[in-house]
Chain A
C-alpha cells in the first residue's frame, strides 16, 4: 500500500502553508457573505463537516477507546490538538459540576499572521475549531457546545475556548426492538 508508510508518522506540512490557506478561506468567505455573523456560521459548519471525518482518523491513529468521564475527554481533546495543530492547550477553569472546561491557547497556528481590521470586530476568526469539536464529539455520542470567550486577536491576553457538555446521544435501536 503506497500510503501505508506515511500513515503512522503523519505527513508534516509547513504550518505557514496551512495558516495562509485558512486565511484565504476566511477572506473568501468575508467577500462572499459580507456579514460577519454569516461567516462565523459558515466556518462552524465547515468545521463540523471536517470534525465528523477527522474523528475517525484520530481514533485510528491513537487507538483510543471510549471516554470514562469528561476529564478523560478533555485530555483526549488536548492530544488531538497536539496531533493536528502541534500545540498543547492548557485545560483550565473546570466548572464545579465538571461538565465545562476551557482550553487556553498560548499560541494558535491559525492566527499566526493575522490582524483583524476594525470592521471585522464580530468575526470569530478561528470559529472552524468550534465546529470541528462539535462534529467530532457528536460522532462519539456527545453533544457539546463550544465558544470562544477570549481571543488573542481581540486584544485578550490569550485565546480561550469554553467547552460545555450538554448530553449523551443515545445509541440507535434497530427497528423492531425495544
Chain B
C-alpha cells in the first residue's frame, strides 16, 4: 500500500502546498499548471456530482478510483481542500486526511501567527509533522513496485 502525493488548495483555488512521497510518473508540466488542472477537474467533478445526484447530497464528492490509484478529496466548510492520492487498496484514508487537517494544518499553520493563511505554506515545522504523520500511518510504505 502506498501514499503517492498530497495537494492542499485554499478556498480560492490556489495551491497552498504540494508534496510527493511515491510518485513514479510525472505529469510533464509545471507544478502551477498541474495544480490548475487538478483544481479545475475537482471543481468540475464537484458541480457534476451535485447536479447529477438523484438524492440530496450531504457530503458530495469523496473520491475516485482508477485501476492504478485512488484520489481522495476532503473539503472543510471553510473551503480548504485536501487531495490525497493513494494506491487503490488503502482504506480509511478519510480518517488520515482529517488528521492532516486537525493535527497538522490547524496546529502548525492556523495556530502559527507568522504563517499567512492565503499564501503557499513554507513552514518547515508543518512539513516535518506532516511527513511524520504520513509515515506513521499504517499504509505508508517506502517504495512501491
Contact = CB atoms under 8 A, between A and B. Distances in A.
A65 B57 CA distance: 13
A171 interface: yes
Contacts of A63: 98
Given A60-B101, A63-B98, A172-B12, A141 B79 contact: yes
Contacts, number: 58
Interface of B: 11-13, 36, 39-40, 43-44, 58-59, 76-80, 98, 101-103, 105-107, 110-111, 117, 129, 132-133
Contact of A7 (B59, B101, B103, B117): B103
Contact of B77 (A4, A64, A176, A177): A64
Contacts of A60: 101-102, 105-106
Find the residue from A7, A63, A139 having the highest chain B CB count within 10 A: A139
A59 B103 contact: no
Find the residue from A55, A172, A176, A177 having the highest chain B CB count within 10 A: A172
Contacts of A4: 103
A52 interface: yes
A140 B12 CA distance: 13
Nearest to A56: B110
Nearest to B104: A1
Nearest to A60: B102
Contacts of B105: 56, 60
B82 to A, nearest CB: 12
Contacts of A52: 117
Given A56-B80, A171-B79, A172-B11, 14 more contacts: A1-B103, A1-B133, A3-B107, A53-B117, A56-B78, A56-B110, A60-B102, A65-B59, A65-B77, A66-B77, A171-B11, A174-B40, A174-B43, A177-B44
Interface of A: 1, 3-4, 7, 52-53, 55-57, 59-61, 63-66, 139-141, 171-174, 176-177
Given A53-B117, A174-B13, A7 B107 contact: yes
A71 B39 CA distance: 33
B129 A59 contact: no
Nearest to B10: A172
B43 A177 contact: yes
| Leading 5 A-B pairs by shortest Cβ distance | A60-B102, A60-B106, A56-B110, A139-B78, A174-B13
